[in-house]
């Protein structure tokens, strides 16, 4: 039996505070499509995607109407193409990407993820070619997203792949110069990538998953902000940080329940498995839908100042605890995203000089992802970008957590100038990189940074 106050609280979250299902992501195994003949491979991919995802749009609309809960995005995540298209030359890999793009448009999903290579310990010739093809793919397709996992706690960090990706970012940015290097926003470089993440651009259908699965990404920074503000404003005594954590946990519990309800309904109607609900506070550029504003409601008036990392740690932990208590199917990333250009409060903190790249790196040690949607000067050299990637991945590898880099060198623009990506991707002032070029020789050594001693747990 649902208590009346819980029902009313959920309705308020939807109507007033922008609670939504940020994404319904259908994961599809493409391993059965493998063929050395690229025409056969692409035909099989097309057939399999349409078979599973052909009704996704209609079902999501029906469920949205029934429950009155907005479903913002419909997406597909496929098996890593680096494995599915093993043995293909560059032309074949690009053909696969274009097939994914065409089918995504045909079944009316927003994005398709999984043009992916998992190269944390080494890479095959096909995976090298896939990474080399990324600038072409990301600049000529509309819906295809890519990810590359370059490190894990068990394997260490593949610095040869990291070095190559610095050049990939510059090439991709230049090819999308007229949109401030936006092609780079569709590439996520991971350490410890999760197999069931429903959020783009890093989603792929990982090993060990079934043929087809529905994963849910549910968000609601505005809901959590409103809960914290209400607690601070109406408590008879000044709430402690422990009280704030409890309020966030309670709110995360309700939000997760909503996500699981929608996910199971969509999966049942499509006749496929339900996978996980990922409760990640993913911001949008709208005021009131910001992770930064939650930290401000907690008392951090200047984002990037002392206390910002501690407040984010409290938020991330409370979200995970509340979500885990609500459901046994919590997965993906589940926590708080610090996506700078997509978060109006964080972008403003960059603009006024409070939030720097160094502080963001510190904050990523306690949040759910990493250096996310960060614009840097277009004249940054490839080795500096690679070193930035290596730093962030090292935080994840050493600390047994997922970290990621989605950084955008903006061609022709310098620190302090404005980068505009539009829509949900937002805009921000370009951040300066401290001491660029200072790690060139380190990156050029190549090889593999060994796995940490903490990986030996057997």
Tens of pLDDT, residue by residue over 342-382, are 999 999 999 999 999 999 999 999 987 889 999 999 999 99
Q: What is the pLDDT of residue 13?
A: 55
Q: What is the pLDDT of residue 95?
A: 96
CB proximity list for 131: less than 8 A, separation 6 or greater? 117, 119, 123, 148, 161, 164, 165, 168
Q: Are the C-beta atoms of residues 57 and 109 closer than 8 Å to each other?
A: yes
Stated pTM of the model: 0.92
Listed as ranges, residues in the chain with pLDDT below 70 are 1-18, 287, 458
Q: What is the pLDDT of residue 161?
A: 97
CA distance 202 to 195: 10
Residue keyed to tokens 């959020």: 199
Q: What is the pLDDT of residue 4?
A: 43
Bridge partners of 27? 77, 213
Closest CA to 156 of 434, 323, 391, 398: 398
Q: What is the pLDDT of residue 330?
A: 83
Q: What is the pLDDT of residue 17?
A: 52
């Amino acid at each position: 039996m649902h208590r009346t106050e819980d029902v009313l609280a959920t309705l308020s979250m939807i109507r007033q505070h922008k609670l939504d299902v940020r994404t319904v992501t259908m994961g599809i195994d493409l391993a059965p499509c493998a063929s050395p003949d690229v025409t056969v491979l692409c035909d099989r991919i097309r057939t399999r995607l349409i078979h599973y995802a052909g009704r996704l749009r209609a079902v999501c609309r029906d469920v949205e109407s029934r429950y009155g809960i907005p479903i913002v995005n419909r997406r597909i995540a496929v098996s890593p193409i680096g494995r599915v298209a093993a043995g293909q030359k560059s032309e074949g890999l690009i053909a696969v990407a274009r097939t994914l793009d065409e089918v995504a448009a045909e079944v009316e999903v927003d994005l398709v993820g999984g043009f992916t290579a998992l190269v944390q310990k080494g890479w095959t010739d096909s995976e090298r070619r896939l990474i080399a093809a990324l600038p072409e793919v990301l600049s000529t397709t509309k819906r295809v997203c890519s990810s590359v996992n370059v490190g894990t706690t068990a394997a260490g960090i593949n610095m040869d792949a990291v070095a190559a990706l610095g050049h990939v970012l510059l090439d991709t940015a230049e090819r999308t110069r007229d949109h401030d290097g936006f092609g780079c926003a569709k590439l996520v470089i991971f350490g410890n990538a999760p197999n069931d993440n429903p959020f783009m651009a890093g989603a792929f259908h990982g090993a060990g998953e079934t043929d087809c699965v529905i994963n849910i990404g549910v968000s609601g920074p505005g809901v959590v902000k409103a809960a914290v503000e209400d607690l601070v404003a109406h408590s008879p005594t000044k709430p402690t940080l422990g009280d704030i954590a409890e309020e966030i946990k309670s709110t995360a519990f309700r939000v997760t329940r909503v996500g699981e309800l929608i996910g199971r309904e969509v999966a049942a109607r499509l006749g496929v498995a339900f996978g996980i609900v990922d409760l990640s506070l993913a911001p949008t550029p709208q005021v009131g839908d910001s992770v930064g504003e939650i930290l401000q409601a907690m008392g951090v008036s200047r984002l990037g100042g002392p206390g910002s990392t501690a407040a984010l740690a409290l938020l991330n932990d409370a979200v995970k605890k509340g979500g885990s208590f609500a459901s046994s199917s919590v997965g993906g990333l589940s926590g708080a995203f610090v996506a700078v250009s997509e978060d109006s409060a964080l972008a403003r903190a960059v603009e006024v000089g409070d939030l720097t790249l160094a502080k963001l790196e510190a904050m990523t040690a306690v949040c759910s992802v990493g250096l996310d949607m960060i614009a840097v000067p277009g004249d940054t050299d490839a080795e500096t970008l690679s070193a930035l990637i290596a730093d962030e991945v090292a935080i994840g590898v050493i600390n047994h957590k997922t970290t990621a880099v989605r950084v955008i060198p903006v061609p022709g623009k310098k620190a302090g100038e404005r980068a505009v990506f539009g829509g949900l991707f937002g805009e921000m002032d370009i951040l300066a990189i401290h001491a660029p070029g200072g790690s060139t020789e380190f990156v050029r050594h190549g090889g593999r940074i060994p796995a940490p001693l903490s990986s030996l747990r057997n």
